[in-house]
Amino acid sequence: MLRALSLFVVGMCANVLVALPAFAQSPAEVTLTRIDCGTGATPTDVGQRFTDTFAYKDLKLTFTFSCYLIKHGNDYMVWDTGFAPGTSPNAPTVGIVDRLKELKVAPDQVKYVGISHFHGDHTGQLAPFTNATLLIGKADWDGIIAPTPMQGANAAGFKSWISENRKVEPLTGDKDVFGDGSVIVLRMPGHTPGHSSLLLRLKDMGRCCSPATWSTSARTMTAAGCRTSTSTVPRRSPRSSA
């Protein structure tokens, strides 16, 4: 009887050990690359736009318009697409497709395109991402596809998405993009009705938020308690297994 019990216990342990790899898979590697998607033509008076207590008197900064490439394992996500070259004095001289090419990434490899909000400085280069699912706040999406688009919405930037019936996921809450907590779209209405920000968990950096709101500098998001990427192509933030 004792021998039979011992064999039973050994057998159970073997089953547990065999099953362990299914529950102990290594998390996907995550990297973040900032892409230049525009620069303010003139400095912005921070006190007039970003404080109701006049805390930044006489402070003027030249803001940048950033896009981001997130690599999660073998999958790619783009966050915001900025101005298209030649469309604005603030637009970049090199488009996002060429910047991605520098990183050896083609637009059709991108699985998700996340949009912080529907303004033109964040949505000017959507068209090339033909295979991607668009992640956008539902209230912003509704404002784009309305018979009369909502004021401020860059409906023209989404023209190919609408006419070609591309994949769209209108978000009503937060979205764990890859299901492991490493890349999360956060619902942050205010600047626009469907505004979102992106939260990443990167090794050696902790939580990292996209400075999406009002195309602001990293300084503002740092003040809000988020670490931000200030790297430029082709430099990358530290890699993560978190």
Assign residue 41 the CATH number of its domain. 3.60.15.10
Closest CA to 117 of 159, 167, 82, 89: 82
Residue 16 belongs to a domain: no
Instruction: Let me know if residue 174 belongs to a domain.
Output: yes
List, for residues 34-76, the tens digit of each pLDDT value.
999 998 889 988 888 777 787 888 899 988 889 999 999 999 9
What percent of the chain is predicted at pLDDT more than 90? 56
Range of the domain at 173: 26-223
Q: Please report whether residue 136 resides in a domain.
A: yes
Residue 192 counted as domain residue: yes
In a domain, 230, yes or no: no
Indicate whether 6 belongs to any domain: no
Residue 66 lies in a domain: yes
Cis peptide before 234 (omega within 30 of 0): yes
Q: How many domains does the chain have?
A: 1
Instruction: Tell me how far apart the alpha carbons of residues 208 and 35 are, in angstroms, rounded to a whole number.
Output: 16
